[in-house]
Structure 1
Amino acid sequence: MTKFFTLISIISFHLLCGQTLEEKIAIKSCECLASKSKLTEENTRECIVTSTTTVVFSDPDAKNREHFNTVDGIQNLFQKITAILPKTCDSIKKSNSIEKEKQFYTASKNEKAQNAYTIADDMIDLQKYDVAIESLLNAIKNDPKFVMAYDNLGLCYRQLKDYDKAIRYYKKSLEIYPEGTFALMNIGVAYGFKSDFKNAIIIYEKLKKYHPDNAEGYFGAGKNYFLINDYEKALDNIFTAHRIYTEEKSDYAKDTEQLIGIFYSKLKNENKEEVFKKIAEKHNIKLNE
């Protein structure tokens, strides 16, 4: 046992020492930003400066401290940290994601496109999807970058059960805004209706990547993994979706609970209860036996 803990200590030491000065500062800056209620340029700069000072002056390498004493050294270090943070810090990733959503899920600046979109929106409410499609095609003709118009074209074709065209327009939307939640969720559903479970999984994995706090990615992935008999990944995703829904106090937690029950019954009938137990244990879920 002593050897085990010694090994863990050695590994931890090497991981810590293996980090560059910039990585250490980025981690510290991210911890600082996580405590802020709102991310602004001012508090981002403040966190970087404070974290840089703390890390550099506690660094045993005197060369790093000397480097920090020059204006060029400070500016160079600040630029590197600023470049690292958006790629590694969840707080900044989330803030950037929200800003991007505001940018793309908004009205068109082209008056003709926006008027056509508004008419289509009314037609969708009346379930007159063919009429809505005509207006939406007019909208994208006047504004080829109008994400919400492409999304609604996908919605209309999905309602008309023309899944190929629905997928085509969702893809058009994603070409403009790859992280678009609406298109990602709905193109996954469209692939599911076509029984194209593998492509549905690819889409839901993207949704998870871009929006790791959104339960829909895990829920969709879980269902589709189950349909191709990849039970471990199915359970892993469904348990994660259930945790997020439960934490959010969402009514959808009942859906995941029901699905978990279906998964358990299926695995029990196939004498694969151990698979269920293994993944449940991984998610700290205890079974009443």
Structure 2
Amino acid sequence: MKRLSFLIILLISITAFSQVTKEDKPVNGVENNVLKESFSKEKALAENVAISCTCIDSISIQNKNAKETAVEVKHCIDKQVVGYQTTVKIGELLNSVQENVGSMKEGENLEITLANNPDSEDFKKYYYEIERELMATCPAIKSVTAMNNKEGQKSVSTNSLAIAEYNKGNAFIRENNYEKALPFYQRAVLFDPEFVFAWDNIGICNRKLGNFDEALKAYKTSLKLDPKGITALQNLPVVYISKKNYKKAIESYGELEKVEPDNPEVFYGKGVVYYQNLKDYEKALDNICKAYNLYISHNSPYRTDAEKLIQNLYNEFKAKDQIAKFDTILKANNISQN
């Protein structure tokens, strides 16, 4: 394992640190502890998450699929890991000194070792902490990694009037105003009936507005024009789920799998249907495990969603006293419990 080792010598001696900790008294009921505040894990996490989120928000999604944007998201997080790790480890070191100051020698050097190899378990630990917080607090990470804007032959129109209407719709869809966005996409396909991205967005708007039959028509039109259109293929099963046609939803995920066998959304989607709707926990767990592994291989932050579902499924197996079966399914998917 490659490791980057830093020798960090505190600018105060152990004796001096002892003096600080002993004389550190509450001021107006508030503990005056500058060192702890400077190396607070919570503060460091928030700061590095904010920087990562800004970086992710600047990623261009033009003509990229989810796998490609996930690589760029990973780069945004990677850049913050060593800095975050440094702050956390210095904080832990200071706490250790404070607790054991009596047994330490004056002038003793203090050392921390930082992992800078993204494949190391230590690096991953801090990477995943940033990633989890991003998924909880940074809207940009979900919007960027959920997009599939890879262009096919008919994805983008060459008709200027169609493009103008499409762009007007995009201004509203970015604000989640699907009702106002929909008419612009509908006008776009009047100017260019083969405008695949416009048909996709008609489907998205109708699905969000609860017009499921209209959404299905739009996605099916899109797929006639581009049978490998990932947006339509991923959204069709979601519409069938909304219509409570779970068998058709599973079949639709199968159609997506034919086009992209390594797309984690195939297995995550099927896993959710088996878990939430069909209550088939064995099939649910097997599919979610497959999605989890693919999310990791694709550097996708949606790994955290699969992780949570695996934990939920663990609780279901535990309630049925079937932990051995749970372990067997994890082992079959090369996943070990931590």
Scaled by the length of structure 1, what TM-score is found?
0.59
Note the C-alpha offset of 1:248. 2.9
Q: Which amino acid aligns with 1:272?
A: Q
The answer on 1:168 being equivalent to 2:184 is: no
Aligned to 1:139: 188
Aligned to 2:306: 256
Aligned to 1:220: 269
Deviation per CA, 1:153-174, whole angstroms, max 9, x where unpaired? 0111122122222222112212
Aligned to 2:335: 285
Note the C-alpha offset of 1:145. 1.4
- How many Å separate the matches in 1 of 2:154 and 2:314? 39
Deviation per CA, 1:233-253, whole angstroms, max 9, x where unpaired? 322211111011122332211
The alignment's C-alpha RMSD in Å is 2.2
The answer on 1:181 being equivalent to 2:230 is: yes
Aligned to 2:167: 118
Deviation per CA, 1:179-221, whole angstroms, max 9, x where unpaired? 2111122222222233322221111122122112221111101
- Cα pair 1:198 1:224 within 8 Å, conserved: no
- How many Å separate the matches in 1 of 2:193 and 2:302? 35
Going from structure 1 to structure 2, the CA distance change for 1:220 and 1:149 (only over 3 Å counts) comes to: same
Q: Which runs of 5+ in 1 are unaligned?
A: 1-99
Aligned to 1:109: 158
- Cα pair 2:156 2:196 within 8 Å, conserved: no
- How many Å separate the matches in 1 of 2:324 and 2:157? 53
- How many Å separate the matches in 2 of 1:182 and 1:123? 19
Aligned to 1:275: 325
The one of the two structures with greater contact order (alpha-carbon pairs below 8 A, sep at least 6) is: 2
Aligned length, in residue pairs: 189
Deviation per CA, 1:72-111, whole angstroms, max 9, x where unpaired? xxxxxxxxxxxxxxxxxxxxxxxxxxxx953246420122
Note the C-alpha offset of 1:140. 1.2
Aligned to 2:76: none
Q: Which amino acid aligns with 2:284?
A: A
Going from structure 1 to structure 2, the CA distance change for 1:279 and 1:105 (only over 3 Å counts) comes to: farther
Query: Aligned residues: percent identity?
Result: 37
Note the C-alpha offset of 1:260. 0.6
Task: State how 1:62-101 maps to structure 2 within 5 Å.
Answer: 101=150
Deviation per CA, 1:22-42, whole angstroms, max 9, x where unpaired? xxxxxxxxxxxxxxxxxxxxx
Secondary structure, aligned partner of 1:109: coil
Q: Judging by fraction of residues, say which structure has more helix.
A: 1
- Cα pair 1:157 1:163 within 8 Å, conserved: yes
Q: Which amino acid aligns with 1:276?
A: F
Going from structure 1 to structure 2, the CA distance change for 1:116 and 1:201 (only over 3 Å counts) comes to: same
Note the C-alpha offset of 1:278. 2.6
- Cα pair 2:154 2:225 within 8 Å, conserved: no
Scaled by the length of structure 2, what TM-score is found?
0.51
